[in-house]
Amino acid sequence: MKPLPIIGLAAILIVSAGYVILHGRSSGLFGSGSTDSAQGNRWQKVDRSAEGFTLEIPAESKQAQVPTYDQGGAVEPANMILANSDAETTFSIAWADDPPVARDNGSAPERVLDAAEQGALTRTQTIATRSASGTAQGFPERDFTASNAGGGVMDARLIYAGDRLYMLVAAFPSARARRDQNVARFFNSFKLLPTTPVNRSSAAGSAASN
């Protein structure tokens, strides 16, 4: 297989985020901030209270929707915010409520995260170099890093918050271009808000036990 161009990793992630969130076939893609003088980034505050989160992103962000299809062919859009801190570096977050990847796996957190991670690796033609499960603000999460044949690298974080699945991605043209401090700031700036929906199965179980 011909290796992806180095820049191709960042470009394909924009499309693949919708695929991973919805577990479907991607059909296309379509504030003020503080300056990080060491890297020349201008961090922007993203306030998406209606979608249950706030975030900082290291460049002017753009809103996008990825039209995808579930296994029956029905259209299910994924929301996305993305920014390019330079021509070859992409930061993005995508999210959806009760996506097929969750429904297909019985909303079991570990299975959902496993399937979403594998979908990301397959779609981006990357190989995982690290993967670890944990919790983020009380919800199941999965961090993984991966690289492609062209030398591109990505860091990803999946968070299954109630019925909503979030995916954060930072993609770089090479390992040397990766900036640990930017990845850490991006991931750690993500804050879930109280409006995040509660998992219906968990809520039902809690109610039954009372």
- pLDDT values of the chain reduced to their tens digit, one per residue, 210 residues: 343 333 344 444 555 554 455 443 332 222 334 444 345 578 999 999 988 999 999 988 888 876 555 556 666 777 889 888 887 788 999 888 888 888 888 889 999 899 888 888 887 888 999 999 999 999 999 999 998 888 888 899 999 998 899 999 998 888 898 999 999 999 999 999 985 444 444 433 333 344
- CATH number of this structure's domain 8-209: 3.40.1000
The full DSSP string for 127-138 is EEEEEEEEEETT
Q: Which residue has the tokens 């036990």?
A: 209
Domain ranges of the chain: 8-209
Structure tokens at 169: 């991605």
**How many whole angstroms separate alpha carbon 78 and alpha carbon 99?**
9
Q: How many residues are listed for the chain in this entry?
A: 210
- Partners of 42 in the beta sheet? 35
**CB contact at 8 A, 31 and 47:** yes
**Residues with Cβ within 8 Å of residue 158, at least 6 apart in sequence:** 113, 116, 117, 141, 142, 165, 166, 167
Q: Is 124 within 8 Å of 148 (Cβ atoms)?
A: yes
